[in-house]
Structure 1
Amino acid sequence: MTRLINVKTILNGSATKVDPWFGTSYTINLYRGCSHGCIYCDSRSKCYQIDDFDNIQVKQNAIELLNKELRAKKKRGTIGFGSMNDCYMPIEKQLNLTRQALDLAVYYRFPVHIITKGTLVLRDIDLLKAIAKVYAAVSITITTANDALASSIEPNAPLPSERFETIKTLSDAGIYCGITLMPVLPFITDSFENTEQLIVKARQAGAQYIIGGFGLTLRDGNREYYYQQLDRHFPGLKDQYMKQFGDRYNCFTEQTNKAYKHFKMVCKENLMATKMQFYQPPQSMQGTLF
């Protein structure tokens, strides 16, 4: 079920501020809500005021607004896709809002960083190659290399094995790409084995970096949904969470800390970067008199 809506603006942020994790200055969300059903999604939090999160709201005037807003920008900065939902949900296959937005990025020569679990990103390799003349990056979110486990925690998203294949195709096409390993769920995906499997598969697929966000954030809205899904898929684990974390926003354990240190060590052993390269504005060509 989808609903068409109009919005007043589409591009958030400023070119004067760069996100230290993802290198983005602007964010764009062409849809509200997400159909991937990830049990941990922070975008379910009440503070974002997205009613009926699993049913998608389509920002039908998004491309018109984006054209106006990009034309008015005097300074380029990286546009981030995927901050509040996945820009390559199945609905994108019919509506092409992401593709139209990327086409405008080509026209106005804006750098782009896409974060997605969707394999549909491969449809737009032609545009990504064009954007890459300025700067293009694609980060595929993979929280576990285990397809069966992913089916429980990310039930409607493409399987990790499919996402690794997507990375391979992007890499072979010359697109700068890597992995966002986040969140790392306490007692579920924070094992050394999970981390090692993911890093090895990432290297084999041609990923150029892995950005690790270890731990989990929970607040009103997404906490309740997450606990419901723990009861469904991991009986008894909710009580452990409630005892360990209470109403805390940041949820991490000693094992989480150990897993992050192990992640850094294994990445170093595999020559895998844990930070991505950001867009660098071209230097002024004007010389000096002396």
Structure 2
Amino acid sequence: MHYVSSKSILSKNNGMNLYRGCTHGCIYCDSRSEVYGMDHKFEDIEVKKNSIELLKKELIKRPRAMIGTGAMTDPYVPLEKHLRYLRQSLELIYKYGFGFTCITKSDLLLRDLDLLKKINSKSKVVIQMTLTTSDDELCSVLEPNVCNTYILNEEGIPTVVWLCPILPYINDNDENINSLLDSCIETNVKGVLCFGMGLTLRKGNREYFYKKLDENFPGLKERYVREYGNSYSIPSPESDNLMRLFERKTSKNNILNTPDEIFEYLHDFPQKSYQTKLI
């Protein structure tokens, strides 16, 4: 872990990253890619030490909207347990009447359930999570440091699932996709995002991914190299069949299933009636 100072904390679209880097260890993580210009070891988490001060200043100036985090770095990395930057951010988001959505694979989110419910009662909260496999043993290989899946529907907080990545010759089969979708149906998720059955690889994450294939799936790297070369897009040979399965089951159960409608839902800020005292 190391600290840096930042000039701003919110993007023009209200995206927020309190940390850079991650220790979840997911073997496929695109955030390792060199294109993002991370100049430190991925597991050496960069902490934006002035982020809370910046967030307060920026929230006062901006129109109320959904604040999103987790697109590049899981906001609930283990060090959040004692740094509590996200917890403090949620307090400000609630205070100034904004909504909140995050992508996470950590059950540390449950620590902040009280605040999430308060924000949701005042405006809107959506929790997003990634699902790749229903096999716990395989999950421990693909995502060694993540928690078991949880859904917050019973707490009145909607959930959107990212069904990705689906790795060719690893988790791209009917049994796995059916099982994941059945879980989504049973827990009444709001939407399931899927950009096709496959993954993306580019310089930085490709090398790490291939290293992990050699460690856990001997011989599979050579098949990837032979079939995909240095392609960015790595589609599963089962993609067409699995996408038909995905579209059929989600549509039948009234689950949002296209990126456009899901992102529209995530960014839509409700015009609820409330008063917020700015201090």
1:47 aligns with 2:58: no
Partner of 1:218: 201
Cα deviation for residue 216 of structure 1 reads 0.9
Displacement after TM superposition at 1:272 (Å): 3.1
Residues 129 and 225 from structure 1, CA distance in 2 versus in 1: closer, same or farther, beyond 3 angstroms? same
Alignment-mate amino acid for residue 8 of structure 1: K
Q: Secondary structure at the match of 2:11?
A: strand
Q: Give 1:287's aligned residue.
A: none
Query: What pairs up with 1:28-177 in 2 under 5 angstroms?
Result: 28-50=16-38, 51-73=40-62, 75-132=63-120, 133-158=122-147, 162-163=148-149, 166-167=150-151, 170-177=152-159
Give the unaligned 5+ runs of structure 1. 14-24, 285-290
- Residue aligned with 1:11, SS: coil
- Extract structure 1 runs of 4+ deviating beyond 6 A: none
| 1:7 partner amino acid | S
Report the alpha carbon displacement of residue 213 of structure 1 after superposing the two structures with TM. 3.0
Deviates more, 1:202-211 or 1:170-179: 202-211
Whether the aligned pair in 2 keeps the contact of 1:12 and 1:27 (CA below 8 Å) is yes
Corresponding residue for 1:229? 212
8 Å Cα contact 2:173/2:242 also seen in 1: yes
SS in 2 for 1:113: strand
Q: Distance in 2 between matches of 1:58 and 1:3?
A: 6
Q: Tell me, what secondary structure is at the counterpart of 1:114?
A: strand
Q: How many residues align?
A: 264
Q: Distance in 2 between matches of 1:154 and 1:143?
A: 9
Aligned residue identity for 1:233: N
Work out whether 1:26 is the aligned partner of 2:14.
yes
Structure 1: which amino acid aligns with 2:156? G
CA distance in 2, matches of 1:98, 1:249: 33
Q: Match of 1:196, SS?
A: helix
Confirm or deny: 8 A CA contact 1:219 1:249 kept in the other structure: yes
1:283 shift after superposition? 9.5
Residue 16 of structure 1 corresponds to none
**1: CA distance, partners of 2:226 / 2:242:** 21
Counterpart of 1:5 in structure 2 is: 4
Q: Alignment partner for residue 245 of structure 2, among 262, 265, 268?
A: 262
CA shift for structure 1 position 177:
1.4
Cα offset for 1:105? 0.9
Q: Which runs of 5+ in 2 are unaligned?
A: 274-279
1:69-99 deviations in whole A, cap 9, x for unaligned?
11121x2332211011111121111111111
TM-score (norm: length of structure 2): 0.89
Contact kept, 8 Å, 1:184 with 1:213, in 2: the verdict is no
Instruction: Say whether the 8 Å CA contact 1:171–1:207 is kept in structure 2.
Output: yes
**Distance in 2, Cα, partners of 1:280 & 1:245:** 41
Q: Give TM-score, length-normalised by structure 1.
A: 0.86
The whole-number CA distance in structure 2 between the counterparts of 1:96 and 1:270 is 38
Per-residue CA deviation, residues 239-280 of structure 1 (Å, 9 max, x unaligned), is 111112111111113412321221111223444332543324
TM-fit CA distance, 1:172:
1.0
Instruction: Check 1:243–1:209 CA distance in 2 against 1; reply closer, same or farther (3 A cut).
Output: same
Aligned twin of 2:277 = none
Q: CA deviation at 1:203?
A: 2.4
| Sequence identity (%) | 41
- Residue 175 of structure 2 is matched in structure 1 by 193
Q: Which has the higher contact order (CA 8 A, sep 6+)?
A: 2
